[in-house]
Amino acid sequence: MAKPLSAAAFLKALKDEGLKVVEVGSWRTHNREGHGAWGPVHGVMIHHTVTKGTKDTVDICRNGHASLPGPLCHGVIAKDGTVYLVGYGRANHAGLGDDDVLQAVIDEKPVPTDNEANTDGNARFYGFECENLGDGKDPWPAVQLKAIEKAAAALCRAHGWGERSVIGHLEWQPGKIDPKGFTMASMRSRVKDRLGDSSPGPSKPDSGSGSSGSGSSSTTTYTVKKGDTLSVIASAHKTTVATLVKLNGLKDPDKLSVGQKLKVPGKAAPAVQYEPFPGAAFFHGGRHSAIVTAMGRRLVALGFGRHYTNGPGPDWTNADKANVRDFQLSRPDLAGDADGIPGPKTWAALKVPKV
């Protein structure tokens, strides 16, 4: 879990990677704040624009259009490799995608096929729109591909991510085809090469040497949080600082960065427990429950929080109902009975964490 970079740090990361960057208007504050979350961020998403001409491409990505307000990404990568910054913060680029893909990105594992649209990607990914017609014929100039590689690597480097944190829109949302004309596997391999040995991400294959002496060769990934030290992480995972240093090839054990991923010995944490369905009769005016708060937070995480003016909170309100209804309408299997009151099917799809 990583806090998004500040606009200044984002700009610096791109420039430090050797990119030519053009700042467009008030890009630092142009975003979709108020329409959902921004962060924590977990990766970088690559798109193609289906446009021709850099000026029009940049204008569209900054302003959006009637049915999809801008910004449509953070940076536009033009044919000549220049990166135009059009927005920063929440942007309309990723839409709803597959929670299993997000989990794979967080774990730096190969992504599974995207077959669900149940998770708000605009909160979770940096987005780059790349100028291309997306017809499979429009060429991708070498300088443009190099710029995509650099932009993705710059953010991975800033967050301590490996190349598996870079995905294409087509890997996120069912039905999307972008980017078309190169493979994301080839782009990830370029990012990996660029990051080289300096990448603290768990990109090296598991050695499973068992040299930790714990007798267990399985490892799981831990993401460094604010205030963490190696000794705190070690004791929380019943291991030693020396084991963590060895397992992760750390050069300087005192230098941890928030969002950095560490291998820790032991099996993966137990699966998240979900709150059981409280029954449709539970949801009525006057109901005051932590379950309502948890449900509301889940709706916001999924991108269905637009009716909350403040909250979500423990009282069942019309805003809860309206957001549940939006969620139901977004899912073909639930839209037929979209009344804003969770039934067993809606509840199962919401996956509300256990209170």
User: Which CB atom, from 10 or from 172, has the smaller least distance to Zn ion?
Assistant: 172
CB of 175 to Zn ion, least distance (A): 11
CB of 349 to Zn ion, least distance (A): 24
- State in angstroms the smallest separation of the CB of 46 from Zn ion: 8
Name the nearest CA neighbour of 323 among 36, 33, 100, 116.
36
The minimum distance between CB 176 and Zn ion, in angstroms, equals 6
Which of 136/336 has CB closer to Zn ion?
136
User: Angle 184-195/142-159 helices, nearest 10 degrees?
Assistant: 60
Burial of 352 (0-12, 13-18, 19+ CB in 10 A): buried
Concatenating the DSSP letter of every residue in 147-203 gives: HHHHHHHHHHHHHT--GGGEEEHHHHSTT---S-SS-HHHHHHHHHHHHGGG--SS-
Sign of CA dihedral 23, 24, 26, 31: negative
288: Cβ–Cβ under 8 A, 6 or more apart, which residues? 314, 315, 316
Nearer to Zn ion, 97 or 160 (CB): 97
CA distances from 126 to 24, 29, 76, 168, 274 (A): 17, 15, 12, 11, 29
- Residue 329 Cβ vs Zn ion, minimum distance, rounded to whole Å: 22
CA atoms within 13 A on the CB side of 166: 31
Select 114 or 178, whichever has its Cβ closest to Zn ion.
178
Q: Which residues bind Zn ion (CB under 5 A)?
A: 47, 169, 178
C-beta closer to Zn ion: residue 101 or 299:
101
- CB of 148 vs Zn ion, minimal distance in Å: 13
**Beta carbon nearer to Zn ion, 169 or 188:** 169
Q: How many residues appear in the chain?
A: 355
